Amino acid sequence: MSRKFFVGGNWKMNGDKKSLGELIQTLNGGKVDPNVEVVCGAPSIYLDFARSKLDAKFGVAAQNCYKVPKGAFTGEISPAMIKDCGVNWVILGHSERRHVFGESDELIGQKTAHALESGLGVIACIGEKLDEREGGITEKVVFAQTKVIADNVKDWSKVVLAYEPVWAIGTGKTASPQQAQEVHEKLREWLKTNVSEAVANSVRIIYGGSVTGGTCKELASQKDVDGFLVGGASLKPEFIDIINAKA
């Protein structure tokens, strides 16, 4: 079964209308592989702006959301608000949410359930820290994180799983293509055993962690790497090269 290649750009807390407008112009004018699903994760204050300016062939994602539709939660946004901006995706469980803002596996699971019930697609992030990899517990960590997400998913067609080794995010270190493939393959085996063979074969598992125009082609050639979640490079023209990594 062929899985459609998926490239997400996580703009994080970067950009303004001028610089993002220029980036969007570059993307709209770029030659991108039509067989790739591309989704740009804009800061929440620019979701409306990004959606109105980006060509319809590109999706837009919020970078986070809360677990309920509305209420007294100052500073939060809900899936209902995201959808009201014409946006259909949300990134949840990113390592920065986990390790900078202290979000627990349980909260990420609750957010995932609510986002999916609200009709959003979810880019669900998992990944181990450097001490966990060096301690030999990568699988234990990523399987535990995946289980909490899986327990909250009814429809896997709306979920993209993003494996992001925390030690490779923004550090310039990239997991080797072999390291990425090894974890992706083990995740697929876990899904086969714990969810179903059909889900294991169909769900897209993408890699994130200092992906660049230089590293993307070899990573994309791995059997179980179905795309990327790109940080810094998604703010640069080379993002088009990463989108076209399979071309």
CA atoms within 13 A on the CB side of 116: 22
- Selecting among 96, 103, 128, 164, the annotated active-site residue is 164
Cα gap 211→208, rounded to integer Å:
6
CATH topology (fold) of 5-243: TIM Barrel (3.20.20)
Helix (H, G, I), strand (E, B) or coil at 246: coil
Contact (Cβ atoms closer than 8 angstroms) between residue 68 and residue 78:
yes
Label the pairing between strands 58-62 and 36-41.
parallel
Domain boundaries, the chain: 5-243
- Selecting among 94, 96, 114, 128, the annotated active-site residue is 94
Confidence (pLDDT) at 173? 81
pLDDT tens digits, 108-155: 999 999 999 999 999 999 999 999 999 999 999 999 999 999 999 999
Q: Catalytic annotation on 94?
A: yes
Note the residue count of the chain: 247
Query: Picking from 172-176, 193-197, 218-222, which range would have the lowest pLDDT averaged per residue?
Result: 172-176
User: What is the model's pTM?
Assistant: 0.97
- Amino acid letter, residue 217: K
Residue 62 pLDDT > 90 = yes
Distances from the Cα of 70 to the Cα of 18, 65, 77, 122, angstroms: 31, 11, 8, 19
pLDDT band at 1 (very low <50, low <70, confident <90, very high): low
- Amino acid letter, residue 99: H
pLDDT tens digits, 168-182: 988 888 789 999 999
pLDDT band at 2 (very low <50, low <70, confident <90, very high): confident
pLDDT tens digits, 5-47: 999 999 999 999 999 999 999 999 999 999 999 999 999 999 9
Structure tokens, 191:
């899904």
